Structure 1
Amino acid sequence: MKLNKKYTLLMLAGTLSAQFLAGCGQQPATDVAVKDTASSKKAPCCDLSDAKDGSYTGESSSDDSMGKGRIAISIKDHKIVSVNYVGVDSEGKLKGADYGKTNGKVENPAFYQKAQTAVKANTAYAEQLLQVQELAKVDAISGATISYQQFIEAAKMALLEAKK
């Protein structure tokens, strides 16, 4: 029973930490998509009512082993009309069908599958943002948490640029 209490406390602490560290109304960064009941609140970076028409770019900070994310968002009449998000590996190459391979081969199928989950999630995150029009309503995809965090960071930068 003591183990269950410790585990429960650790899980609660992790969840609260993730919620505390989440910015701009974003959902907690976990491996499971979680709906945020406060996602209807508009945070300053995500409210498009004063955004200028145009195309804006953003780039996440770099992760030593996973690279970074780059986004291009176009806004017209205070609506997002296009989103293009890509992952870039630590060598500066776009993450695509070869991401997760070693020397052009799938040497570790589990790693390759996880890497490809992240690549597919990049497209899904962009499509979600275009559809829901609010960064806080983009759901994390299980197995692609780092990509989600990079997407949120890059999108915030682009949306903030639209307000200058």
Structure 2
Amino acid sequence: LTPGPMLFTTQPDFVWGLIASMYISNFVGVILVLLTVPFFAALLRIPFAIIGPMIVAICFVGAYTVANSTSDLWLVLIFGVVGFVFNKLEFPLAPLVLAMVLGSKAESSFHQSMIASDGSLGIFFSNYLVGSIMTVALALLIIPQSLKFIKYLRSHKNVDAAA
């Protein structure tokens, strides 16, 4: 079995069998979801005082079983405390988790881009599509901070004028 564009001509039985199995698995998945929705809805009615410790215990068991290492348990505990503190300080946790999961991948991709462009940031504006995406991304980063800064300046200007 050699993957590639010729797979459809050299192994049509395998390819169409694979496609048929995807259709069957989608159908079975829909049936399973429809059958288990009432069960999962009932789980939502369990008080957090009961289900919270169970979730924590499952997290600890899962972390330990990956490598049978107690240092993994310490990592779970440390990141749990960090998450709790961030939650109390009203930091959004989703961007933190995304940064931890995607950070290394983004860094390696950025490194590849810098190698391909001999260190020039112009590669991020090399064509219209990439340039527009980068412009929108930069605007989404800069505009909210600028508005906060302007609001801060106006509030201090009003305080100074009142004094």
Q: Name the TM tier (shorter chain).
A: under 0.3
* Higher strand fraction (1 or 2): 1
Q: Please, what TM-score do these two structures have when normalized by structure 2?
A: 0.25
Q: Please, what TM-score do these two structures have when normalized by structure 1?
A: 0.24
Higher relative contact order (CA 8 A, sep 6+): 1
